[in-house]
Amino acid sequence: MSIRIISLLLILIIPVFAQDTTKSLAFKNNKNFRNSPFFYQPDLSYQLLQQFKLIQEANTGDPRAQHELGMRLLLGEGMAADTVQAVYWVRKAASQGMISAVYNYGVLLINGWGVEWNPFEAYKNFHKAARNGMAQAQYIIGILHTDNLIVPKDLNRAYLWTKQAKDNGFEPAKEVVNALSEHVDTLNIFFTDTLESRFDYTDMPNEGSIESTLGLVFLDFDAMSDTVKDITDQILIKDIAKCGVDNILDTLSLTLDSELDELNDSLQILFIKELAESGSPEALSILGRLYERGNYVSRNVILAAEYYIRAIRLDSPRSPLLLWNLIQNNNFYSLLKSSSDQNDPAAQFVWYGLYILSYDNRITEFDALNFLEKSANSNHLPAIIELGLNHYTGRFVNESKINGISIWQIGEKYGSLEASVRIASARVFDQFGLLNSDKLITFLHEASAKGSILSEVALASAYENGIGVKRNVATAVKHYRNGAQRGSQFAFRQLQRIYDSLRPAEKEFVIN
């Protein structure tokens, strides 16, 4: 597996792998912090004390009492939740060097919970906790050195820190160490000894066992065709497991070790098709594989190619290689030509797609656009969406956002959820015809919950710019990160822009 990974750091992490299209390692799935198990909570010394006694001890300056009071206020355990006061007490304990408080304050900073979002200050807190032997923090620091968002990419440091976390019993680090070891040329790097010699465990409080509460999501964002030669069923299943749909593997009766031939029920296929039509590149890729093989559905390589092309248009990191392998079949182009000659709208759309993706130059641009027009005129929804995109962006035709919206409205009329998402996203990105903003944001959240990657990115833009919602950069970062870890290069570029806008001048954060 390629290690071109980015840490799109959010402390709530689900252990799922994804392959690369932008350079990242991502944390995901931000939940309400009051229901979150991901804060570090040691064996609390004061948990049996009454509230007034805990507050009294905190006011005397006892960092353990301050930390526990902060966590109880944050999580609403035994007292009314108060985020502002929670941050105050956790920060007080952290300022006295209590490592669990230092770590948890980093969690608050990186998520923007009760404090202004600041990934760079969070890094400093995690680094301090890591230097003092906290395995979770060592793991996080290792991950952060695999990207160019907070600190410069350095796989040697990434390997060292994650190995330290593994040696300290942090289970999720094992996978990362194995992956990194394949890409660090010399494991006996001189750097290892010099950095390990600087570890200082003397001020690590005796706070109870450190539990493994974090997991890793790999996101390899560059050309995966030069790193992955075989895209297995397990890779596609792991991808769809992180598409943002709750309990999706349970719904599909799959596990991460399943094969796609276990999708042998009409309800399973219908569910995947619903996700695909909402704009899930992961579901589109799986449908392409099913039609390519003829698993449960009738084998149809033209439909397989169409699904792969649609997935690529949504930044799927898998489908470029899947499509390339598919069209190498000697019979593919003869079948494509005969189907196109018979005015099959799917075949016409596929030939257009192969041309614009530079997979094929057997036809001219004029021919490709003519195929798209014919397919759209046959009310073929993928072609309608693509034609609307061409008009909206001015690709191949004169730009006209009005015409693009009008074409998508035709697709919406025929029941295309993706067309509706395109319209809603246009209203966010360009504030085009922004009317009922509350309804718009609700729709985008609903579409995102159905796997729409475009909705995820549109929500990010809405929160960043305060369109229809109160401006919240931390929430915007969360949505951009979720989009990026699924393959959206646009989302990753927006992340880079946001991080760079806050980047301190300190040397450790300078990225060339």
**Whole-number average pLDDT of the chain:** 83
pLDDT given at position 11:
34
The answer to whether the beta carbons of residues 453 and 275 sit under 8 Å apart is: no
Using alpha carbons only, give the angle 3, 7, 9 rounded to the nearest 5 degrees: 155
pLDDT given at position 338:
96
- pLDDT at residue 52 greater than cutoff 90: no
Edge to edge, the sheet with strand 24-26 lists 7-8, 24-26, 217-219, 16-17
Single-letter amino acid code for the residue at 400: S
Q: Which residues are paired to 219 by β-bridges?
A: 24
Better-scored residue on pLDDT, 40 or 267: 267
The answer to whether the beta carbons of residues 481 and 491 sit under 8 Å apart is: yes
pLDDT given at position 435:
58
Poorest-pLDDT segment among 31-35, 114-118, 437-441: 31-35
Poorest-pLDDT segment among 179-183, 298-302, 493-497: 179-183
Poorest-pLDDT segment among 30-39, 174-183, 303-312, 481-490: 30-39
Backbone region of residue 394 per phi and psi (left: phi > 0; alpha: psi in -120 to 50; beta: other values):
left
Assigned token pair, 482: 């979720």
Q: How confident is the model at residue 417 (pLDDT cuts 50, 70, 90)?
A: very high
Query: Could you tell me the pTM of the whole model?
Result: 0.81
- pLDDT at residue 380 greater than cutoff 90: yes
Query: DSSP class of residue 177?
Result: H
Of the candidates 505, 493, 501, 492, the residue with the CA atom closest to the CA atom of residue 18: 492
Average pLDDT over residues 306-330: 95
Q: 3-state DSSP call for residue 399?
A: coil
Query: DSSP class of residue 330?
Result: T
pLDDT given at position 216:
28
Q: Which residues are paired to 220 by β-bridges?
A: 5
| Tens of pLDDT, residues 266-279 | 999 999 999 999 99
Query: DSSP class of residue 197?
Result: T
CA 180 to chain centre: 20
Q: Which helix (H) or strand (E) holds 7?
A: strand 7-8
- pLDDT at residue 81 greater than cutoff 90: no
Q: How confident is the model at residue 374 (pLDDT cuts 50, 70, 90)?
A: very high
Q: What is the number of alpha carbons within 13 Å of residue 118 lying toward its C-beta?
A: 13
| Tens of pLDDT, residues 158-205 | 999 999 999 999 998 998 898 888 777 644 544 444 444 344 433 444
Q: How far, CA to CA in Å, does 6 sit from each of 160, 352, 469?
A: 17, 33, 28
* Residue 311 buriedness (CB in 10 A; 0-12 / 13-18 / 19+): buried
Poorest-pLDDT segment among 10-14, 15-19, 132-136, 190-194: 15-19
Q: What is the number of alpha carbons within 13 Å of residue 474 lying toward its C-beta?
A: 18
Q: 3-state DSSP call for residue 193?
A: helix
- pLDDT at residue 209 greater than cutoff 50: no
Q: How far, CA to CA in Å, does 146 sit from each of 345, 366, 424, 482?
A: 44, 44, 35, 18
- pLDDT at residue 433 greater than cutoff 90: no
The whole-angstrom separation of Cα 270 and Cα 397 is 36
Poorest-pLDDT segment among 172-176, 330-334, 402-406, 492-496: 172-176
Query: DSSP class of residue 45?
Result: T
Q: Which helix (H) or strand (E) holds 8?
A: strand 7-8
Q: How confident is the model at residue 20 (pLDDT cuts 50, 70, 90)?
A: very low
Looking at domain 7-219, its CATH architecture is Alpha Horseshoe (1.25)
Q: Which helix (H) or strand (E) holds 349?
A: helix 345-356
In order, the DSSP letters of 414-468 are: TT-HHHHHHHHHHHHHS-TT---HHHHHHHHHHHHHTT-HHHHHHHHHHHHHTSS
CA 312 to chain centre: 16
* Residue 330 buriedness (CB in 10 A; 0-12 / 13-18 / 19+): exposed
Poorest-pLDDT segment among 42-56, 246-260, 290-304, 487-501: 42-56
| Tens of pLDDT, residues 108-141 | 999 898 999 999 999 999 999 999 999 999 999 9
The whole-angstrom separation of Cα 285 and Cα 202 is 51
- pLDDT at residue 337 greater than cutoff 60: yes
Single-letter amino acid code for the residue at 104: N
